[in-house]
Amino acid sequence: MAKKGRVLVIDDEKLIVKTTCILLRHLGYETLEAYGGESGFTMAKEGKPTLILLDLVMPGMDGWEVLRKLRADPEMANVPVVIFTAKEYANAEVVGNLQGAIGHIGKPFEPEDLEEVLRKIEGGDA
């Protein structure tokens, strides 16, 4: 199967990162893993992902700060970012879109939720 792109998953919960990456690889994506904001930003710069799934609530550098830094960096400003956070965070999608994110996936999520967002991005609907 041809690879569809390289997705960076940034989350401080290791199990979420691992299981999400397994699903992404099953769907044909190459994956990169980061377990916090600082390492996520560094991995984004080094790994050159084509998409980033970004948790918001993390110790240290949170997802909002990572998103701001990505949008301010000329090399990373156009990489699509999907907010990947708890469903209880009601305003995450609206605020994320205002700050340059292109979508939202609430955790816990069903595989179909992730597939739907990926289809929208691939189809240019995001």
Closest CA to 97 of 34, 47, 54: 54
Percent of the chain at pLDDT exceeding 90:
63
Give just the sign of the alpha carbon dihedral 13, 16, 19, 20: negative
| Mean of pLDDT over the chain | 87
Name the pTM for this structure.
0.88
pLDDT tens-place string over residues 46-97: 999 999 999 988 999 999 899 999 999 999 999 999 988 875 655 655 555 5
The mean pLDDT value for 12-33 works out to 96
Compute the distance between CA of residue 32 and CA of residue 30 in angstroms, rounded to an integer. 7
DSSP-assigned beta bridge partners for residue 29: none
The mean pLDDT value for 38-46 works out to 97
All domains of the chain in start order, with CATH: 6-123 (3.40.50.2300)
